[in-house]
Amino acid sequence: MDKNTALRDARLEIEEFNYAYADTLDRFDVDSWVEYFTEDALYHVIARDNEESGLPLGLIYCEGKAMMKDRAYALLNTEMFAPRYLHLSITNTRALKIEGDLIDAAANYTLIETLVEEPSRVQQVGKYRDIFKRTPNGLLLQERKCVFDSVMIDNCLVFPV
């Protein structure tokens, strides 16, 4: 298979992955969200100004699936926040490079949140910088770095993107 065909196939596969991922989060199913990652994955949500200034602070920074599980547990069992609808769109998906069982990829994402008796609003817009890993259980995220343009956060980000 030539390189371009392989990248196109990978993109289709990643698009399927991202659509399922978005649907999982739209349903607040953060327990299942954790299962999109490898055990030692890095999940990092970082403001674009920090990223571009070389500052490492994350809005969310999970080293490994265990930390993601702890966030999922807190969201479902202990955190206090207003009821809401979530609408995560993932577009412009690209497979950039394939090396062994790893695929570098990127996509744009937009999270629209709707609160009770409030108009829908953009909570976060950004880009994923992804490393996917091919495993016996299909593609999993080895790393998802979410670099968001919407540096000024509207109150708070409750669910992951």
Partner 1 sequence: MDGDSIIRDTDGRQPRAWPEDETLIPDWIYTDQDTYDRELEKIFLGRHWNYVGLDCEVPEPGNYFRSYVGPLPVVVTRDMDGEVHVFENRCAHRGVEFCREYRGSADSFICPYHNWTYNLQGDLTAVPFRRGVKGHGGMPKDFDMAERGLRKFHVATRGGVIFASACDDMESIEDYLGPVICPEFDATFDGGEMKLLGVHRNILPANWKLYQENLKDPYHATLLHTYLTTFGLFVSSNESNIPTDKYGRHGGLLSRRPDGRPDVSSEDAENMQAFKKTMELNDPRVLDFVREFDSKWSGSVLTIFPTLTALRQTNILNTRLLVPRGPNEFMMIWTVFGRAEDDEEMVRHRLRQNNIFGPAGFLGIEDNEALKFLQDGLRKSLPRDGLALLGDDDEPTDTIITERAIRGMYRYYRDVMGF
By the criterion CB under 8 A, which residues form the site for partner 1?
45-47, 49-50, 53, 55-64, 66-67, 69-71, 73-74, 77-82, 151-158
- Least separation in angstroms between residue 103's CB and partner 1 is 25
38-60 in b/e form (b: 16+ CB < 10 A) is beebbbbbbbeebbeeeeeebbb
Nearer to partner 1, 13 or 113 (CB): 113
Nearer to partner 1, 7 or 62 (CB): 62
Contacts of 59 (CB under 8 A, 6+ apart): 45, 46, 47, 148, 153, 157
Q: Are 131 and 103 in contact (CB under 8 A)?
A: yes
- Least separation in angstroms between residue 145's CB and partner 1 is 13
Nearer to partner 1, 67 or 98 (CB): 67
- Least separation in angstroms between residue 88's CB and partner 1 is 15
Nearer to partner 1, 8 or 121 (CB): 121
- What does the radius of gyration of the chain's CA atoms come to, in whole angstroms? 16
- Least separation in angstroms between residue 16's CB and partner 1 is 27
- In 5-150 the beta strands, taken as DSSP E runs, fall at 37-47, 60-63, 84-99, 102-115, 121-135, 138-148
